[in-house]
Chain A
Amino acid sequence: MKTKKTAYPYLLWMLLFTIVPICMVAYYAFTDAQGNFTFDTFISAADYSQVFLYSLWVALISTFICLVLAYPLSFMISRCDEHKQSMIIMFIMVPMWMNFLLRIYAWVQILQNYGPLDTLLNFIGIDVTLIGNSGATILGMVYEFLPFMILPIHTVMSKIDNSLIEAAQDLGASRFYVFKNVVFPLSVPGIISGVTMVFVPTASTFLVAQYLGGTQFMIGDVIERVFQSDHHTGSAIALVLMVVILGFLVFMNKFGDEEAVGV
């Protein structure tokens, strides 16, 4: 079959850069420096369970905020005419064309002590520390990953036939009822992919917390640090993170199968 053959380059790529590295991580996670099989790596990894839970918590909050911001926006965009839609979507994408690190630096500049926002707040008598806490980390995460929530929800929403909304109104449904009983159920697949696309990277990303979160590192940062000295413990943490995310994905998909239907 010709179509199968065209997939070979990617299959090779996947083998080399996905399967093999995962096996290597698994190998390192279950061995010590001498190459003997051991569980000790996981015991030392357990030292970081606090950070681990903190990361999941930050990811959860960030995902939730993204959802709350993105959902009404996506709904609004999907009801605009096509020209406007692509325009707004472009504006949402524009920040992503800029380097990730640069954008985080920009936030550091904005939030830092004696930075513009801090000065302004001090001036009107509010004395708060804007940087170096969980709030700043969450802000950075939301800023980074919001487009990944908007795009899938928007895609699903724009496919909801306007005549379905009209039909519901025609049958006597108020705006709220239309939303609750027609638009929302039909947009669940978008929510699920949006949540997945935001939660997974926020849980594992690094650098954001290093720059904005002060001493409160996230698990991604920890893996980076630990890896510099100890591949084995680092691999163990990474493996645990992978399993947790896998569990999350399975859960989301199951939830999705029950709720979602083809539009």
Chain B
Amino acid sequence: MDRKTIVSLKNIFFDYGNEVILDGINLDIYDKEFITLLGPSGCGKTTTLRIIGGFIEPKDGDVYFDGERINDIPPYRRNVNTVFQKYALFPHLNVYDNIAFGLRLKKMDKREIENKVKHMLAIVDLKGYEKRKINNLSGGQQQRVAIARALVCDPDVVLLDEPLGALDLKLRKDMQIELKKIQQKTKKTFVYVTHDQEEALTMSDRVVVMNNGHIAQIGTPADIYNEPADAFVADFIGEANIINGVMLGDCRVSILGQEITCVDKGFGKNTPVDVVIRPEDIEVVDPSESVLVGTVEDTIFKGVHYEMSVKCNKCQWIIHSTVAQKVGSTIGMTVDPDNIHIMRKMFLLPNNEIFTTVLYSDEEANTITISIEDNEIEVPNCYYAEGTKLHIILPPSGLHIAGDGVGDLDEVYIESVIWKGEHNEIILESDERKWLMQSDQDEQVATYVPISFDFSKATFEVIEEENADED
């Protein structure tokens, strides 16, 4: 297969109002490949697609098509066609006229148009539907018309924006296979956007995992599954046990208080890391043969394998195995060092560090008021003189989402939520900085929430200044 680059994105930046949607996107799309942009909602995948389609212009960076810069070329002059999320079929035209729309614009001969439309209808399995009205078609049929309408124009690149999102599960599975077949039959470059990881793995030659306006990883489905670049990718693609660990040195990591051998080097001693282990990579052994010992809490038969949930030092592990273990039995777990994936933490510090100054203090009530991002926040049960400079270390458990809707900070963006065996590790982004939060609840990524601080868990350090005023 030749690896000619057909579309190339260089350092794409895009924002909407104050919100950065895409930052530093670099992507080469090869000719005739099926490439999928995968990520949770709000990660910027649709925006990337719209930039390729020409519906929006990047605020910074360049888009190249076959080596030529096309930033300011309007959609109708790009040899790219799009299958829209809700199909966007013309309701005033019938199936035939919808598909012929693009061809008529090319001033093609009537006979030729007819031949092409007929041929396309055969490919998408809609022979004899020419005269049907769009509104009388089922979702799956509309979907096929939309694909036919895009393909019939013979574009170099076909963009597909979650085209299967509106279909039910069964139809979706069928269409996945069909789409892949159509792509192979027509030998076109497909750029596909989805939030469904299974869909991405099934259909793609390459997958681009996106998170929060960045590309987290690019690779073949197998690469992405077997060698995830960070905890986000590991969590998003397939199932994974993601545990906090600390590197003890090269090839040695400590998890759950046990030292384990791995194959990763160069992280530096005592560096906190994310350790990722796929459920099928864990071997069940006799408790005496392993340092990791746990109790089986639950066993579910999943057809090919059993899914077991094992509690080990407060931490929940998921194991896939063809042999079922009795619920309540104690087992040992070993993992081949090759299958232990060590990743740099996405939030580098273990705690939230706050540098601030005491605005007011009330000795009687034993409270102080500090300012965080221009919000005045009262801290109970502590007293420092007004004007004292403080360094507050707030552990992840000292943050929580304000259930009543009124928090110390409003409108904080949830950047990622990753289950760490015992609790969720959540990375939040406020106006000026990021926060690390621990929560037992599952939260929705890419939403805005109010957060509150629990300073009873924090430690305070006074920053001594040489000529601090003392009243």
Pair B76/A172 contact, Cβ less than 8 Å? yes
Binds B, one of A16-24, A96-104, A159-167: A159-167
Q: Interface SS of chain A: helix, strand, loop or mixed?
A: helix
Pair B76/A173 contact, Cβ less than 8 Å? yes
A-B contact count (CB 8 A): 64
Complex-state Cα separation, A168 to B75, whole angstroms: 9
Chain A residues within 8 Å of B102, by CB: 171-172
Complex-state Cα separation, A196 to B77, whole angstroms: 40
Chain A residue at minimum C-beta to C-beta distance from B78: A170
A86 near B: Cβ within 8 Å?
A: no
Q: Interface SS of chain B: helix, strand, loop or mixed?
A: mixed
Pair A174/B76 contact, Cβ less than 8 Å? yes
Chain B residues within 8 Å of A172, by CB: 76-77, 102, 105-106, 153
Known: A163-B86, A177-B105, A262-B135. A170 touches B92 (CB 8 A): no
Chain B residues within 8 Å of A177, by CB: 105
B346 near A: Cβ within 8 Å?
A: no
CB neighbors of A among B46-105 (8 A):
53, 55, 74-77, 80-82, 84-86, 88-92, 101-102, 105
* Interface residue from B55, B85, B88, B105 paired with A173 (Cβ < 8 Å): B105
Pair B92/A261 contact, Cβ less than 8 Å? yes
CB neighbors of B among A212-263 (8 A):
261-263
Known: A170-B53, A171-B153, A262-B135. A161 touches B88 (CB 8 A): yes
Chain A residues within 8 Å of B45, by CB: none
Contact count band on A: 20 to 34
Complex interface bits, B135-157 against A, C-beta within 8 A gives 1, otherwise 0: 10000000000000110010000
Complex-state Cα separation, A263 to B88, whole angstroms: 11
Chain A residues within 8 Å of B149, by CB: 167, 171
A209 near B: Cβ within 8 Å?
A: no
A44 near B: Cβ within 8 Å?
A: no
Pair B91/A186 contact, Cβ less than 8 Å? yes
Chain B residue at minimum C-beta to C-beta distance from A261: B92
Chain A residues within 8 Å of B76, by CB: 169-174
Known: A177-B105, A262-B135. A169 touches B88 (CB 8 A): no
* Interface residue from B74, B88, B150 paired with A163 (Cβ < 8 Å): B88
Residues of B within 8 A of A (CB): 53, 55, 74-77, 80-82, 84-86, 88-92, 101-102, 105-106, 135, 149-150, 153
